[in-house]
Structure 1
Amino acid sequence: MAVALAWLCQCLGNLLMRIHMLGLIFRLTRRKKDKQKSR
């Protein structure tokens, strides 16, 4: 049981990290596009 909980926590942590990274990349790409449009 404890092993399953630890595994679940690890999976959730990995998912959160991936979502966070994707969000940062999305923001950076969007900013670059906005800068290009302003030109």
Structure 2
Amino acid sequence: MKRSGLSGEIALLVRNLVIVFSHAFFTSCSIIQRQH
């Protein structure tokens, strides 16, 4: 039980990190395009 719960938490963390990084990436891309 502990193991599956931990893997579930890790999966949620990874998913949140991916969402945050992709959002920051697209935001920086749009800012760079605006400056040009």
Distance in 1 between residues matched to 2:30 and 2:7, nearest whole Å: 35
Question: What percent identity do the matched residue pairs reach?
Answer: 12
TM norm structure 2: 0.91
Which structure's CA Rg is the greater one? 1
Q: 1:23 aligns with which of 18, 23, 35?
A: 18
* 1:1-39 mapped onto 2 (5 Å cutoff): 6-39=1-34
Give the Å deviation of 1:35: 0.2
TM-score normalised by structure 1 residue count: 0.85
Q: Structure 2 stretches of 5 or more lacking a match? A: none
Q: CA RMSD in A?
A: 0.3
- In structure 1, list runs of 5 or more residues that go unmatched: 1-5
